[in-house]
Every structure is written in C-alpha cells, then in structure tokens.
Chain A
Amino acid sequence: MDFLTIIQIADSALRLATPLLFACLAGLFSERAGIFDIGLEGKILASAFLSAAVAFVTGSVWLGLLSGIFASICFSAVHGMASITFRGNQLISGVALNFLASGITVLAAQAWFGQGGRTPPLTGNGRFPPIELPFAIGRSDAEAAGVPLRILIEQANPIQQVYSEFISGHTILVYVALLMVPLSWFVLFRTRFGLRLRAVGENPAAVDTAGISVVRLRYASMAIAGTLCGLSGVYLATGLGAGFIKEMSAGRGYIALAALIFAKWKPVPALGATFLFGLLEAIANRYQNIDLGGIVIPVQFMQALPYILTVVILAGFVGSAIAPKAGGQPYVKER
C-alpha cells in the first residue's frame, strides 16, 4: 500500500464521515438537552428523499437543501411534541419515526416518479459540485495538461497529493460539516444558550427554578438537531450520491448514535469518532477481505466493527461513557 492509496482511503473516509458527523452533532444537541434521539436515521432518510426530489423537480440543489432541512425539522417537531409536550417515551417515538420515514419515502417516491421507490438520478445543478481549493490539482488542470487527473496527482509531490486529493475537491457540505465542529463547541461551551442547553439535559428542575423555560430550550435543541440531521440527508442524496435510493441511510443514523457515545457527547471527539467510522467503511468498501499475515479478516467484521467498538465503550472497559443525566426523562413542572 503506497502513500497515495492511503490518501485516497482517507479522502473517501472524509466523504463517508460527513453524513455521520452532521447526524452525530444533531444527536449531540438533542441529547445534551436531555432528549434521546434514535430517530436520527429516519430524519436522514426523510431529508435525503425530499432534497433529492425537489432538486430533481426544480433543478436547483439549493432548493433541495432547504426542502431536506424542512423534512427533517418536521420529523423533529413530531419527536419534540411526543417527548416534550406529551411526555411520551422518547425511544418509542424515535423508533416510530424511523419506520414512518422508511415507509413514506418509498411511497412518495413511487407516487411521484414511479421508479420503484427512488428518484431519477440528479445531474448538473441538481447536485453539489466539488470545490477545488486554490493551488490544488483539479479537473481543469488535467484538461489543460491533456492527461487524466489520476496520473497528474500520481506525479505530484506528497504534500500536493494530500492537499489535492484529501483536502480539496469536496462539496461545500463537507467543509460546512467540518466547520460545524468548532461552531457546536463554541455554542455549547462558550455561550449562555449552550450552558442552559446543557443544564437542561442534566438538571431541568434547576433551569426551571432559574426562570428559564425548559420546554422552549428543548424545542430549540430539536430545531437544531433537525437542521443538522437534514444536512446529513441532503449530503447523502446530493453530494455523496446522485439521487434518493430506498433505505439509502443504511443505518448511518445508528452509527452516528454510536459515534456520539464513542465521543462521550463532545463535539471535537465527535469529529474523531465519525472519521474513524468513516475510515472503517472506506476500508470495507475498498478491500473485501483483509489478509493480516495468514489471518483473513472478513468484510463483515469490518462492517460490524463500529457497533462492536460502541458496545465495548458502553461497557466501560475503555474509559467511561456517561450520558447527560436527565436524558430520556420528560420534564414535569412542579405545581
């Protein structure tokens, strides 16, 4: 395995980590405010469908983006209603929304496009184009030189390879996702809103006593989570893929949940955890079986590894993962 191969795997890991990162940060805001959200999966799916459908019909990926976020926020609103207003079981609500999204996206896709529960492939302005950063070797350089891009990058020096292959050439949403990490950290740990949000997840009664509305804070966290999860779905359908395919979220919402635990409910480690899980997926995609000097690791093991690692982390054998204290409990104001 040469240097360029490693860079290529890292590049694909970054792409695959992006939807996980958005969803993981969505879960972070939700769970920090004391609301379990196993409905991430459903929100990603709903957003992926509506963004692809609208992007196809209007030909504008930006309208697709807005619609995707809208779909995800709608699901968030139902989850908020069930878990905040009606004090229902948040886990059950999440499970229900996952099923709802999984079914309704196929039904709507079939009714609109009649292609077996998918949208037609997106082209041109229906997708987010890759952004070439300054001084990176990109498609235009390759056309000017008259050689394939692959060969041009092979000939470049290692720093240029890392820059052109790994850092440059992603769609805007990848950079937005990376930017969301420091932003989330700042909002949660350096603003008054963030302090209150975290307090609501630990001890809502104390926040209420201080005269701040628990309900409003929790709905705000739902709106943020809906937006971020929406971006995850939009990237999946218009950045990573080109259109909506049935069940295209493929368990990413659950992996994001795993990453959240792995990251111990903190934004910066969330980047590390999602990149690690993206890396595992990238390796599993590239190599079917990995031969480690006589021991062959089957691809299924690589696929299961994020889940196994999460169970190990949860078991507390490698550091401890302590969830926000008030997670999952509806808040009932004292009378």
Chain B
Amino acid sequence: MDKIPKWADVALIPFLNLLIAFVLSGLVIFAIGENPFKALMTMIDGAFGSTYGWGYTLYYTTNFIFTGLAVSIAFKAAMFNIGGEGQAMIGGLGVGLACLFIPTALMPHWTIALVFAVIAGGLFGAGWALIPAYLQAKRGSHVVITTIMFNFIATALMGYLLIKPLKLKGAQESASASFPDVTNLPTLHELLAPLGISFSKSAPANVSLFLALAMCVVVYLLMNRSRLGYEIRAFGESPTASVYAGISPTKIIIVAMMLSGAISGLMAINATMGQHERLILNAVEGAGFIGIAVALMGRNHPFGVLLAALLFGFLYQGGSELSLWTKIPRELIVVIQGLVILFTGALDNMVRMPVERMFIAAAKRKDA
C-alpha cells in the first residue's frame, strides 16, 4: 500500500516545499529592509503587466523548459547532470557555427536555418555530454564531478574562441560577427501581428518557444511511450534489476546523457539565434543551473517542467524589474533559486516525513 495518496505526492508536498522557500525569500526581502508584498506586486506587474513583460517572461521560460527537460531526463536515469550550462554553451557554439558558416544559399528561409541549428546545437550539446557520459559508463568517474569540470572547460573554450578565432575583427567586444539576416528567428510580435494581436516589438520571445513546447511533448512520448524511455526509467529505478532484464547500463548512461546534452544544446537556439543573433560570452546566463531547480520542482515530468519553467521565467523577469524599481538587487533570484532547490530537492523529507505520518495516522483512525 502506498503511504500517501498520489495527489499529496505530486501536488501537496511540492506546494508545501515551495511555500517554505517563498516564505523564507519573503523574510530575506524583509530583512534587507524592503516590503515583501510590494516586491511581489512589482514582480507580477513587471512579468505579466504588459506584453513587453510577457515577452521577456516567455523568453526566459523557453530557456528553462529546455534546460529543465535536459536535467530531468538525466535524473530519470539516476544521474545528476550539472553540466547543462556547459552543454548549452557548446550547443550555442554549434548553432553559431551553423548560422555563420553554412552558405545562405542553402538556407533560403529561417525554417531551414532552424533545422540546421537544431541539428548543430543538438549535436554539439550531446557531444559535450558524451565524454562525461563515457567516463561514467566505462570508467566509473562520477558524472557530477566531470560535468562540473566540463562547465569550466566550456567557459574557457568559449572565452578563447571569442577572443581569438571567431571574434569580429576590429570590434572591442568579445563576440562573433552578426548572423545573416535569414537566420533571424521571428519574434512573437512578428508571429502574432498577422493574427491581429499586438505584441511588444522589443521583447525577445520568439518561435523557439514553440520548439520548447514541442520538446515537452516529444520528451513525454519518449520517456513514457517508447521502449528506450522505459529502459531509461527502469535503469534509473534499479540499475541492478534492469541489468537482469537485459538492459545495458553503458548504453543507457550514454544515451540518456547525450539526450540531456542535446536538449541543453537546443536552449542556445533561443538565446543565440532568437535573441543575440551572434555568438557572445555568457549567452546562457545560468539557465543551465536553473534547469536543476526546474526539474526538481517539476518532479521530472515534462508538464511539471513546463509549469516550473514558467514560474522561474516569472521570477527572472520579475526579479530584473525589481532591481530596476527598488533597491533589491537582481541576485534575489539566485537566493530564491537556491531555496527552491534546497527545499524541493535536498530537504524534501523534512516535509514528506510529517505528511506521511499524518496520512498514516489518518488511515489508522479510519481502520479503527
């Protein structure tokens, strides 16, 4: 018999976890001498009060859907991929190289450019996850440590490439040349205008949002409706049992990590192709790490990831508005992010144990 009903597991406990994290965040705001409720109103207004706000919120949401899905796939295979940040950076390199060096004659329309970018970003991201995955599968090196190391190596590599070979000659900034116009993805403004809906021109949300939503469906089908997904989940639940079922651990570790890396890499399409339209340093802006919080909060389910990504999109956009209008620095988001990861991830049992006891006591009363 289950200790607690399913609704408590998927809704009540995450809600309580989040509540603690947000109450503590409110206390932090209070402690630095600001009004938490006013801060919340400013954030809601900044994130949802205008189509401009929505445009940024959805832009960040798109990033976090990709990185959240990436982390969740690895979690399903009982692996903790902290390398989303590096994989997204290198994925961005792939996207950038595709946009810069594939002749525009081959890319007559942005849709075709997008196909190339998906292939390049996915392959580069997956490639960056391959070495840690191989080392975990074959040599037993802990994937957490190696992916952390690969994040730093990716930062150094991108730093080198954007200061030396890929840097636009004569420019001050460490950035590549701008991508050709044909590779620029249509923004929500351009997509919605023909439908008669006016949407902010300057907001960066773009067609990648739909790619991200499609990825949620693809990941759901892959994990829950395919043989590979079943094998990944089985391996994650019990590596030893899955070996007896004829599932190869090497294959699952490598495939799951590469899928995770590929989806992280796709995040770069939103940031590099959709927003910056050239390669810059730190286009990822920590989204790879936020993926961890998003996956934990979304309970590794694509729909949960979508909701959690929207929440973090709101926090991100609301947080930057907050730093504009109040004395609260942008780093507040990092605090909230840390608290959310702490309470939904590491301290989950702090809430779960009493809730379980409560349900068991209730069940006993019923029996008696």
Contact = CB atoms under 8 A, between A and B. Distances in A.
Contacts of B339: 96, 100
A314 B146 CA distance: 8
A180 interface: no
Interface stretch (A9-17, A103-111, A199-207): A103-111
Interface of A: 36, 38, 78, 81-83, 86-93, 95-104, 106-108, 110-111, 114, 117, 251, 254, 257-258, 261, 298, 300-301, 303-304, 307-308, 310-311, 314-316, 323
6 contacts: A82-B346, A86-B350, A95-B82, A95-B292, A103-B331, A316-B139
Contacts of B153: 304, 307-308, 311
B80 A108 contact: no
A86 B349 contact: yes
A307 B339 CA distance: 28
B338 A103 contact: yes
A303 B151 CA distance: 12
Contacts of A97: 338, 342
A307 B142 CA distance: 14
Interface string B328-368: 11011111111101100111111001000000000000000
Contact of B296 (A38, A92, A98, A310): A92
A97 B28 CA distance: 15
Nearest to A36: B144
Nearest to A101: B338
A298 B164 contact: yes
A301 B334 contact: no
B32 interface: yes
B152 A78 contact: no
Interface stretch (B94-102, B103-111, B155-163, B204-212): B155-163
Contacts of B349: 86-88
Chain A CB within 10 A, most for which of B32, B163, B353:
B32
B145 A257 contact: yes
B347 A103 contact: no
Given A81-B347, A82-B346, A311-B150, 14 more contacts: A86-B348, A86-B349, A88-B347, A92-B346, A103-B332, A103-B333, A103-B336, A106-B331, A106-B334, A114-B327, A258-B149, A304-B152, A314-B139, A323-B142
Contacts of A36: 144
Contacts of B316: none
B139 A107 contact: no
Contacts of B131: 311
A314 B342 contact: no
A86 B347 contact: yes
A100 B327 CA distance: 19
Contacts of A308: 149, 153
B196 interface: no
Nearest to B164: A298
Interface centre among B153, B164, B292, B348 (most CB of A within 10 A): B153
B289 interface: yes
Interface in B229-274: none
A97 B149 CA distance: 19
A110 B349 CA distance: 34
A86 B347 CA distance: 6
The dominant DSSP class at the B interface is helix
A35 to B, nearest CB: 12
Nearest to A88: B346
Contacts of A301: 156, 160
A196 to B, nearest CB: 25
B144 A38 contact: yes
B342 A82 contact: yes
B141 A315 contact: yes
Given A88-B347, A92-B296, A261-B145, A104 B28 contact: yes
B148 interface: yes
B135 interface: yes
Query: 3 tightest A-B contacts by CB?
Result: A103-B334, A99-B338, A100-B338
Nearest to B144: A91
Contacts of B333: 103
Nearest to A93: B346
Contacts of B341: 92, 95-96, 99
Contacts of B337: 99, 103
A102 B163 CA distance: 27
Contacts of A104: 28, 331, 335, 338
Contacts of A86: 346-350, 353
A96 B347 CA distance: 10
Nearest to B334: A103
Nearest to B349: A86
Given A96-B341, A106-B329, A111 B335 contact: no
A111 B33 contact: yes
Contacts of A323: 142
Contacts of A87: 349
B194 to A, nearest CB: 42
B135 A92 contact: no
Given A38-B144, A96-B338, A103-B334, A315 B156 contact: no
Contact of B342 (A100, A108, A251, A307): A100
B32 A107 contact: yes
A331 to B, nearest CB: 14
A257 B82 CA distance: 15
Given A99-B337, A323-B142, A304 B156 contact: yes
A106 B164 CA distance: 33
A300 B159 contact: yes
Given A95-B341, A102-B334, A104-B335, A315 B347 contact: no
Contact of B346 (A83, A103, A304): A83
Contacts of A88: 345-349
A99 B141 CA distance: 25
